[in-house]
């Protein structure tokens, strides 16, 4: 599908623009942040979810467009957005529901580089990007028969960790695979890294040229985060398998001496992103490096999320890190709006649209 070509309005007043996103994931902070920076806001909602975003709920959306399913996104809806000078902010659910082809073909203004989505969503390309960036990576197994230590098995497109499992031998792998996923052979087998999960939330602004770390979180996953409440022998007796379904997010402040390494990792990922994208715009705006930190303080990165992650949601009032830098509460959602506001003011809107 051809890339959509946004039509750019000439105004330099934020109030002439609408910040729009799909009502889920991190829409509350995106829309709240946009209002704080002087924009009008719009949420595209499924029926019965509107009340979270409109004046009956948290009041972050000035306007709601209701759809039966997000997959129903069509030209008429996009026309409505274009008419309002809407800038769409993609988030995890947005990409999951829309699919990449539709995102690429979109004509409405879109914050971020569409091209980088290909690198993020294709496992092999993402691996190349991470390797070129010099990140420490878990080993990948191309053949289940080669499993010789604990691995985590991830099914492609698995929503929020659902269906992942851990195995330590080929036999264990096939037992769970055949029982739980008999018809799905689109999976990746990764070395299981023993350590603590840590998700680093970055922001790279094309306007200031700066890379910032805005916050960190860890995930609250069912049942991985409650399995320790059961004795090991009871787990075995009840035949409980670990699963990683995301339920929520917990804020983290990291040991201060880890910050230089995290900054270096983020810078390197951004630098390489410019080399691998044809237009050289690379990765900008919010992104996340999903990591596991071992007891030797090695930072393994197992995924790059090239957009706002929901782990930034605890920081609507800002994080300890943004408090150091800004004299107002700065969420990731608001940081996006600030970037757009500065781009509009400087007549550089094109630089932040994909």
244 binds ligand AMP (CB under 6 A): yes
C-alpha of 228 from chain center: 28
21 binds ligand AMP (CB under 6 A): no
Least CB distance from residue 192 to ligand AMP, whole Å?
A: 5
- Given 58, 174, 192, 326, the residue binding ligand AMP (CB under 6 A): 192
215 binds ligand AMP (CB under 6 A): no
Q: Identify residues 268-307 at the interface with ligand AMP (CB under 6 A).
A: 290, 292, 302-303
Tell me which stretch binds ligand AMP (CB under 6 A): 27-35, 153-161, 279-287, 342-350. Answer: 153-161
C-alpha of 150 from chain center: 26
Range 185-196 burial, b when 16+ CB lie within 10 A, else e: eebbbbbbbebe
Q: Give strand pairing partners of 291.
A: 198, 301
Count of residues of this chain found to bind ligand AMP when the rule CB under 6 A is applied: 28
Q: Where are the beta strands (DSSP E) in the chain?
A: 18-22, 40-46, 63-67, 86-88, 109-110, 140-141, 151-155, 165-167, 187-191, 196-204, 211-223, 244-252, 285-293, 299-305
Considering beta carbons, is residue 191 or 351 the nearer one to ligand AMP?
Answer: 191
Tell me which stretch binds ligand AMP (CB under 6 A): 10-18, 216-224, 252-260, 272-280. Answer: 216-224
34 binds ligand AMP (CB under 6 A): no
Least CB distance from residue 241 to ligand AMP, whole Å?
A: 13
Considering beta carbons, is residue 39 or 141 the nearer one to ligand AMP?
Answer: 141
Least CB distance from residue 5 to ligand AMP, whole Å?
A: 28
Q: Do strands 211-223 and 165-167 pair parallel, antiparallel, or not at all (unpaired)?
A: unpaired
- Closest C-alpha among 58, 42, 331, 97 to residue 215: 331
In sequence order, what are the residues at sequence separation of 6 or more whose Cβ sits closer than 8 angstroms to the Cβ of residue 285?
Answer: 111, 112, 203, 204, 205, 307, 308, 336, 339, 352
329 binds ligand AMP (CB under 6 A): no
Considering beta carbons, is residue 98 or 349 the nearer one to ligand AMP?
Answer: 98
In sequence order, what are the residues at sequence separation of 6 or more whose Cβ sits closer than 8 angstroms to the Cβ of residue 168?
Answer: 147, 149, 150, 151
Binding site for ligand AMP (CB under 6 A): 24-25, 92-93, 96, 138, 152, 154, 159-161, 164, 190-193, 197, 219, 221, 224, 244, 246, 249, 290, 292, 302-303, 310
């Amino acid at each position: 599908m051809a890339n959509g070509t946004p039509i750019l309005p000439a105004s330099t007043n934020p109030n002439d623009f609408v910040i729009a996103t799909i009502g889920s994931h991190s829409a509350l902070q995106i829309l709240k942040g946009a209002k704080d920076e002087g924009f009008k806001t719009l949420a595209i909602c499924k029926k019965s979810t509107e009340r979270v975003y409109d004046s009956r709920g948290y009041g972050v959306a000035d306007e709601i467009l209701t759809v039966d399913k997000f997959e129903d996104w069509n030209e008429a809806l996009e026309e409505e957005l274009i008419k309002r000078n809407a800038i769409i902010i993609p988030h995890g659910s947005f990409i999951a529901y829309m699919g990449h082809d539709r995102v690429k073909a979109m004509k409405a203004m879109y914050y971020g580089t569409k091209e980088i989505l290909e690198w993020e969503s294709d496992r092999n390309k993402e691996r190349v990007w991470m390797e070129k960036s010099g990140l420490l990576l878990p080993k990948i197994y191309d053949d289940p028969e080669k499993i010789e230590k604990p691995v985590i098995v991830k099914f492609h497109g698995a929503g929020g960790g659902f269906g992942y499992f851990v195995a330590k031998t080929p036999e264990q792998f096939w037992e769970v695979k055949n029982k739980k996923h008999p018809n799905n052979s689109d999976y990746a087998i990764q070395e299981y890294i023993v350590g603590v999960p840590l998700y680093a939330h970055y922001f790279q602004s094309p306007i200031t040229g700066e890379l910032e770390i805005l916050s960190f979180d860890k995930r609250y996953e069912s049942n991985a985060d409650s399995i320790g409440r059961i004795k090991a022998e009871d787990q075995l007796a009840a035949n409980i398998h670990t699963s990683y379904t995301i339920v929520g997010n917990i804020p983290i402040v990291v040991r201060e001496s880890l910050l230089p390494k995290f900054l270096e990792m983020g810078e390197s990922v951004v630098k390489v992103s410019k080399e691998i994208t044809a237009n050289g715009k690379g990765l900008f705006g919010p992104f996340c490096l999903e990591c596991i930190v071992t007891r030797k303080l090695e930072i393994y990165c197992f995924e790059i999320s090239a957009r706002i992650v929901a782990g930034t949601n605890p920081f609507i009032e800002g994080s300890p890190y943004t408090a150091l830098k800004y004299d107002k509460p700065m969420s990731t959602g608001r940081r996006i709006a600030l970037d757009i506001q500065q781009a509009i003011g400087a007549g550089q809107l094109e630089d932040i649209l994909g």
